[in-house]
Structure 1
Amino acid sequence: TGGSVVLPCSCADPQSTVTTFTWHFQQRNQWIQVFQDEKYSGRRVLFDELSPTNRSLLISDLRTNDQGYYRCMTEPNIITYVDLNVKGCDLVENRKTAVVTGYSGESVVLPCSCTELQAKPEHIQWNYFKENKHKEIYPNEQIENYKNRVKLFNPNTPGNLSLHISALTTEDQGHYQCFVSSQQVVAVRLRVEGKKTCVHPINLTTDQPSHLTQDSTTSQLKLIPQHHTPQSVFILLGVFFSVLLLALLAFTCWRCRGSRNAKKVTTDGEELKREQVNQDDVMYSAVVHVKTASTPAHTHSDPAELTEYACINVKCY
């Protein structure tokens, strides 16, 4: 419903020309000409009037009573039958009650929509139950209090029938009704509460100079908001101290290893120094060995040949 449809009717031969044609709609076992029925007034037109072979029918703003059998008759006695099905608006949560909460001074949306959002209902009406009867508030505002405060939430979507109410008051609380037909009704119960307020806990402390006496009339009250430390701060502190502890352990291990290496280097140096000292204690002396055996007078003895050297290792303690 609410949309448009094209009922096809054209000649099989594109070169042929249709001189006469008629469109009929079957109603109560009778065929009624579409172009003579007032219910189609302003809603029916040929889909392509310039084409001599295309006699398709365009029907706009479809209604549920447009559903039925149609026929297109052209010369010579060629008939095309079309069965048109029109799907209306079936409300979501039909015959049920929705509960909505709003706040004074703000806006609220009362839900109501068709299962097919492109299906436009033929009739839509919002009612408010007051004084033991339903009074229309949309589209006709029978209650003065709702004037210029109600509208459809999304008028660009045919199947969205939700109602938007602005500047809520406690008087708006009550029962509402989204009425499409006697078989398609959704009820909404609206509760209006006071304005939302944000309450922050505070501590009251007395700040009084020491040189003043205890006097309640001169006490100054300071409002100190109570701040709650986020849990993430404790997590970050835990990570920080863990990393600091690991760094301290790593530094301690490094110092211990460096001390051992220094001690080893010192020991090696002392041994090397001791060896050098031992080498410095070595003394060399020349010992002359003289043979006492007599030699012939003519024989000349070389003192160098008679000299022998011995190495004496002397250590001083």
Structure 2
Amino acid sequence: MTFLVFIFLLAFVQDGASDILTSSPIFGPRQVIGLMDGSVTVKCFYPTTRVNRHDRKYWCRETTRRCSTIVSSTGYVSREYEGRATITDFPENGIFIVEISGLRRSDMGSYKCGVGINDKLFYRVKLDVSEDSVMPGEAQLFYIKQQGTVTTSCTFGKEYANERKYLCRMAKTQCSTVIDTYGNVDPSYKGRVLLNHNEVPGSFNIFMTQLKRQDSGVYLCGVGSYGESGESKELNIHVYEEPSLPKGKVEQPLLKGVLNGSVSVECYYDPKGNVTLKYLCKWRKYGCTELINNFGDVLDSYEGRIVMHDNLENGTFTVILNQLQENDEGYYWCMTDGEQEKKSSTELKIIEGQPSLRGPKEINIIAGSSLSLICSYPCKYYSYNKYWCKWKNTACDPLISYEQNQTGLVVTCDQDSRILSLNFDQVAPTDQGWYWCGVKRASYYGETMAVYLRVQGVFPGSEEVLNAESSNDAAISMPGSKKANSHLSKSKIAAGAESPTESPVEDNNSKVLLSVLIPLGVVFLLLATIFAFVKFKLFKNSDRVSVASYRTNISLTDFENPRQYGAKENVCMEEAHETQLDGMNEYAITTGSPKEVPKKPKRGSKEEAEMAYTTFLLKSENISAISSSQQQ
């Protein structure tokens, strides 16, 4: 019974020791091979903490009871390896290098490279000595902290240019595919690994990011099929846990957005490093499509939807993507051409919900009109900085709030109604484009909303009018171009200008119109003249009406004063006063002297004609009587 307990405890201790070894932050090659009488170099990595930088580094050989030190950073070298073993520490880079020369067969065995004065922080390395003249290729080592990135180039001959490229992870008996050029991707690495073709035929690049402790292990990048054809190269990756992440630099493994809403992806880089290119790309099985970079290059389908803000002070660049759609789901990579670890991926998921910032998505307006773009925000953004900006491929710089800026635009915010407005006094053709409404707190860019302003029509004399006229003049110079002539006519009318030349079709139409309107006008004038002449003759010659055609009873009392029926009966009126009667538009005419005897009531025109005709008959009879008496 006691023996069984002892066996159990021994197994437990071994398991614990195994866990300690696995969790050790010290890392090196699993195996190194050197030629007889040759030399071998061993690289050992350790975290660059303050303690580790100044602590002892050592290389020892394992025996059944202990690990005998061969060489250490304190200057110790064992007698057997004097002149054959050296150790060099690089504390800034977190690495020390052990070199052993004059290799013998007795040097074969198990060794440890470690840090400290006790045997707790170490990594076990196997040393082999070969008598062959050809050395096998050594594994490429990667010492990466959690959430870091591995970047490597796998180069093979041109004869493999058309062969399958792959990355696989070694297990006991096989190598499981992580990603290949046939579109196969291990689900546990989806969105975290990239395989890009290199310019050199037969070579490719591998990127693996968001690394976890369980990603530590041996990988192979190769061409062809593992174990059957082609070549491969060993990659030994060790992922260690960083003691403390820099304040504020927390990775974003998952982002959530709603349809028509927006998200912000924050990316990190070393501002002191030699970083030139920064970009965001969308992951796919066969590569990563670049969406935007710091040089202003934007994918056409993302125009007006994406913008990059670079902050050189804290080493971050933020990419904002709005007008989210279902197909925007996926993995996005922050990429730089600087340090390997300054690459990361973020997964975006579209969930149900409504965007917080609301307003019109597209506005059509005529040039010269006034306009106010509105953006409503919820209470949760009450204390945030609100802004409007005009989108450009290089940036979306906020417009000046509450003051009129050089563009003639004014940004106002009504805190009571929670509306942010962008006001145009007079919209110009140059104002057409994308405008963003957004919120911001300190250096953090929050939600945004985009609206497209389309300006219709242009001001006379503007550059657009000149361009339109020149293009239309070119079109009209082509004979038989009805479409060009029609377009020219419309553009001239819209611009308020007259065409200097007319098309043959318009000439013929004008002639036909004139040939019809001129005769009609002549006839109308002729009829009006005849009517006026007849009317005038009718009144002038009314006293020549035939006696036989007019019969009436005439009384001499009606001719008390024939003069009052003359044409000058109102000649004495000195002044006329118009007075509105009973609210109607009628007027009473009074003379200038109130003591003058009122005149008799005015007769109608028919009555006047009858009196004039009677007077004429009386005069005619008197004249005929006088002439007959003279003849007698």
Q: Tell me the TM-score normalised to structure 1 length.
A: 0.29
Q: Which has the larger radius of gyration?
A: 1
Q: Tell me the TM-score normalised to structure 2 length.
A: 0.17
Q: Which has the higher contact order (CA 8 A, sep 6+)?
A: 1
Which structure is higher in helix share?
A: 2
